[in-house]
Structure 1
Amino acid sequence: MTALFDVILPVFLVVGFGYLVCWRKWLTEVAVDGVMRFAQNFALPVLLFSAIARLDLGANYNPLLLLAFYCGAILSFLLGVALARYWLKRPIEDAIAIGFVCLFSNSLLLGVPITERAYGAEALVGNFTIISIHSPLLYTFGITAMEFARAQGQNLPLGRVALRALSGVLHTPLVIGILCGFAMNLMGLAGLVMPDGFWAAVTMMSSAALPAALFGLGGILYRYRPEGEMRAIALCCFGSLLLHPAVTFGLGKLFALSIAEMRSAVVTAAMPPGVNAYLFAALYGVAKRVSASAVLVATGLSILTVWFWLGALP
């Protein structure tokens, strides 16, 4: 019970506070959108910039850690697409959007604060290793799959489809923050060091990122209602909350990951789908109700499932 009350509930209380504020109309939807836009477009990219800039790229990039996490993510996507297409009889574009919900865990807004509260700030190295390629890799994967599905019968060149996918990813603020972090990291290896005042400003901006994002997430979730096909919502919850972390846990054991790496990988994999999973569906205008409802339902259920996975970890 300690993990539930001391680790998980504080994070979800901030989300719940944002939900309450929006429900009681103490802030307008426009104001909540402003908070979320600040968090997603500015504060969170700065947080990622800071974390990636200070990573020890040689020591922390264990390919087995990344393989354990992303094999679970891709398997969840493939199962989600297959069942949505052949069991639920959804169009291929809908199936890809549902698969993306199973694929894209809320690694930053929820995974980082829960890991930090459970194991301390020093345990976040593995989280940021995963997050450093999370958005670039999975957005590229999802956008490419969707573009290829939409290009069927249009005879679009392969290069044009790939370029469209890459362009969409590179314009994402979180990806820009990650790429700038890598650039700063390499500059540091070359002996170019930024002054302390610069890093003090980065720290101030970073410290606002997670509270603002969690509060804004609660406000955004208030707008969604559990509606649409409940079997599709259940499929998304199963893929994101159970299958992904189970595969990651099993592969982590097989690969003999360290305790710290297992914690980062499994906790990150156990996170519910983030709002970006809905935004992906909204971008293409497919499966929006299912995606929005799955984000809301899975976020609520994750209070219990994350508690289970924390108990299963050393």
Structure 2
Amino acid sequence: MLSVLAITGPIYLVVALGFLATRTGLFQRTEMRTFGKYVINLGLPPMLFNALSQRRLTEIVEPVFVLAYGGGSLLALAAGMYWARRVAGKPLSASAFAGMGMSCSNSGFIGFPVVAQVFGAPTAGVGIALAMVVENFLMLPLVLALAESDVAGADDGRTRGQRLRAALAQSLLALLRNPMIHGIALGVLFSVMEWSLPEPLGRAVNLLAASSAPISLLVIGGSLVGIRARGMLHDVGIIGAGKLLMHPLAVLLMVVLLPPMDVKLQTAAVLMAAVPMLGIYPILAQKHGHDSMAAAAQLGTTVLSFFTLSSLVWLLQQVPHP
């Protein structure tokens, strides 16, 4: 078990450091958004570029990973929305964000550091790139479109359908401005063309890429300061269980049912699904008035994930690999 804590312990120690630094006033909670912008715009894109540009195309194009991760995520989304809509009786927008909490991982800020600790940065970089394709081109546009369709006046199928299509188009167009998607596209281009950066530029890209993981973990910790979960423990518990247990199990089911792929990528897909929900979850939910629930769920899920992720890493170490 000590070997497992050697993997997960450093990750959550840095998260705790971010929390303490913000809680004691060294940083303001609003400054965490600035650090987050740095990671999204200047840290993760170079890391994704490095991971993809330095590998052959056959190593980074893995449709089975996309099918397994995407299929498992859709299963978790459907289950979360069913619980919220049919069991808890929530409106469609609240149901969509409950489903998002159970199915959209924080692959960049937590998933990458976890997989990098287990398999190293190259495998983690490919895993996060493939996961982000699923999250940015499928999950986020779908969930946001579902939430956007649940507005006053959208009470007939035709109006709601029109808003759903418009919201999907808007979400997909926003991808064109996403720096992480730019990093993935450039990495694939350099891999296909077998190009390499001039050494000075390559070193600069390496420096930026290396800063991504530690700063992202500090951001997660700092963002948890001030969040309260009182009065929402039932919903938080359901969403947390869906994210930390159901989502990885759904992805594992897809991995078992689909044709085999590299065992490291199989494990990476399950690990990516087992991390807490994406960091901007409360921000996305704020527009529809569900930010308190989302923030509380993020707090509870992040704390519990130390135990669930450590247990998952231990279980994966017990599985014999060929």
Same fold (TM over 0.5): yes
Separation of aligned partners in 2, 1:58 and 1:139: 27
Q: Which moved more, 1:227-236 or 1:262-271?
A: 227-236
Matched, 1:162 2:168: yes
- How many residues are paired up? 310
* 3-state secondary structure, aligned to 2:280: helix
Q: Which residue of the partner structure matches residue 69 of structure 1?
A: 69
Q: Which residue of the partner structure matches residue 267 of structure 2?
A: 263
> Residue 269 of structure 1 aligns to which amino acid in structure 2?
A
User: Which whole-Å deviations, capped at 9, do the CAs of 1:46-85 have from their partners, x for residues lacking one?
Assistant: 2223323334333332222222222111111111111111
Q: 1:118 to 1:157 in 2, by over 3 A?
A: closer
> Residue 147 of structure 2 aligns to which amino acid in structure 1?
M
> Residue 309 of structure 1 aligns to which amino acid in structure 2?
L
Q: 1:77 to 1:257 in 2, by over 3 A?
A: same
Matched, 1:152 2:154: yes
User: 5+ unaligned residues in a row in structure 1: which ranges?
Assistant: none
How far did 1:148 drift? 3.4
Separation of aligned partners in 2, 1:285 and 1:161: 14
> Residue 9 of structure 1 aligns to which amino acid in structure 2?
G
Separation of aligned partners in 2, 1:223 and 1:79: 30
Contact 1:14–1:214, Cα closer than 8 Å, also in 2: yes
Matched, 1:217 2:223: no
Q: Which residue of the partner structure matches residue 242 of structure 1?
A: 245
TM-score by length of 1: 0.89
Q: Which residue of the partner structure matches residue 203 of structure 1?
A: 206
Separation of aligned partners in 2, 1:228 and 1:287: 14
Q: 1:95 to 1:232 in 2, by over 3 A?
A: same
Q: Which residue of the partner structure matches residue 140 of structure 2?
A: 139
Q: Which moved more, 1:10-19 or 1:152-161?
A: 152-161
Separation of aligned partners in 2, 1:228 and 1:289: 10
Separation of aligned partners in 2, 1:60 and 1:83: 36
Alignment RMSD (CA, Å): 2.3
TM-score by length of 2: 0.87
Q: 1:209 to 1:306 in 2, by over 3 A?
A: same
How far did 1:86 drift? 1.6
Contact 1:266–1:309, Cα closer than 8 Å, also in 2: no
Q: Which runs of 4+ in 1 moved over 6 A?
A: none
Contact 2:93–2:146, Cα closer than 8 Å, also in 1: no
Q: Which residue of the partner structure matches residue 291 of structure 1?
A: 294
Separation of aligned partners in 2, 1:34 and 1:229: 29
Separation of aligned partners in 2, 1:119 and 1:183: 25
